Amino acid sequence: MGRVDGKVVIITGALGGIGRADAALFAREGARLVLTDITEKGADDLLASLGTEAIFLRHDVSSEDDWARVVATAEERFGRLDALVNNAGMMVLGNLGDTSFADWRRVMSVNLDGVFLGCRAALPALERAGGGAIVNISSIAAMHGMPYVTAYCASKGGVRSLTKAVAVQCRQAKNNVRCNSVHPDGVKTPMVFKVATGQDSATREEIESITGSSDRFCEPEDIAAVVLFLVSDESRYVNGAEIMVDNAALVTGPA
Ligand SMILES: NC(=O)c1ccc[n+]([C@@H]2O[C@H](COP(=O)([O-])OP(=O)(O)OC[C@H]3O[C@@H](n4cnc5c(N)ncnc54)[C@H](O)[C@@H]3O)[C@@H](O)[C@H]2O)c1
């Protein structure tokens, strides 16, 4: 028996580093998956690798219409929705002075609007299923200022606060829905490679060439393990929590 046996879970940004690790772990633990991403490149290979009931949908998380279609498809295909992992995200480099308003809005639309739209679209479906879990991937950038990523910090801070507002609303509604956020430090994913080199995709070796042996970077699987816990019934009393996955970086301060 898997830890999320039979649960129907939407994972956004499923073709990225953390999304793929989530998909693989959730599949091993028995979930049925609705995997989404703005790109479709590599989706067939991912589905073929999973060995569980899973579908892939092209999905821009900043589109309200896309969200309605994704949630409706999940319920039509699997009869219910048990969890949403708001994982899709992006980063644009820039301090206050060199972040254009267009870049600010782009980061906000994906990282914060996307999570808002996802929570709002999924909540009625989770309630119809008798309860469920929302996991929002934030960052330690929500907890302290980081240089050169002004818009990203602000967007992830918004995700942290939004998570708590949704959690409180669900507690008051006694709807058995929980909403929690996860705050990684560095994770060895294509996002890190893209920020460092400007290139879109990367092998694990290429990513390692950027992160080296720094203890600021964990594996995508380290994040997936926490996300799995928050979706599973093991965390049934965990609501409105923020889980740092940072090897005490926040306690010691940035290196
Ligand atoms: N990698 C890190 O160091 C790190 C640290 C803290 C938090 N995070 C967060 O983890 C999450 C996953 O990031 P990752 O590191 O796996 O990056 P990644 O770039 O490997 O994956 C992100 C995925 O999101 C998708 N995406 C981007 N815009 C989208 C949109 N508008 N609609 C739908 N999908 C979209 C991309 O296509 C990509 O597949 C993000 O929210 C990111 O901010 C990452």
CA of 12 to the centre of ligand 1 (A): 9
The dihedral built from the CA positions of residue 223, 226, 227 and 228, taken in this order, carries a sign that is: positive
- pLDDT surpasses 80 at 85: yes
pTM score, two decimals?
0.97
Helix (H, G, I), strand (E, B) or coil at 33: strand
- pLDDT surpasses 80 at 83: yes
CA angle 96, 90, 74 (to 5 degrees): 145
Which is the closest atom of ligand 1 to the Cα of 18?
Answer: 16
148 classed as catalytic? no
Residue 255: pLDDT band with limits 50, 70, 90: low
The mean per-residue pLDDT over the stretch 48-76 comes to: 98
Q: Which residue has the higher pLDDT, 229 or 253?
A: 229
pLDDT attached to residue 195: 86
Which position among 26, 67, 78, 152 bears the catalytic label? 152
123-141 pLDDT, tens digit each: 999 999 999 999 999 999 9
Parse the chain into domains and list their residue ranges: 8-252
Cβ–ligand 1 distance for 182 under 6 Å, the answer no
Total residue count of the chain as it appears in this document = 255
Cβ–ligand 1 distance for 89 under 6 Å, the answer yes
- Rounded to the nearest integer, the mean pLDDT of the chain is 95
CA of 1 to the centre of ligand 1 (A): 30
171-201 pLDDT, tens digit each: 999 999 999 999 999 999 999 888 888 888 7
Q: What is d(CA 87, CA 84) in angstroms, rounded to the nearest whole number?
A: 9
If one counts every other C-beta atom within 10 angstroms of the C-beta of residue 237, the result is: 7
Q: Which residue has the higher pLDDT, 251 or 3?
A: 3
10-47 pLDDT, tens digit each: 999 999 999 999 999 999 999 999 999 999 999 999 99
Residue nearest to atom 17 of ligand 1 (CA): 191
The mean per-residue pLDDT over the stretch 203-224 comes to: 90
Which is the closest atom of ligand 1 to the Cα of 190?
Answer: 20
Residue 253: pLDDT band with limits 50, 70, 90: low
Strands (E), the chain: 8-11, 32-37, 54-58, 83-86, 132-137, 177-184, 186-187, 217-218, 242-245
> Contact 200/132 with Cβ under 8 angstroms?
no
Cβ–ligand 1 distance for 15 under 6 Å, the answer yes
CATH 3.60.20.40 for domain 8-252, yes or no, is no
Q: What is d(CA 234, CA 204) in angstroms, rounded to the nearest whole number?
A: 31
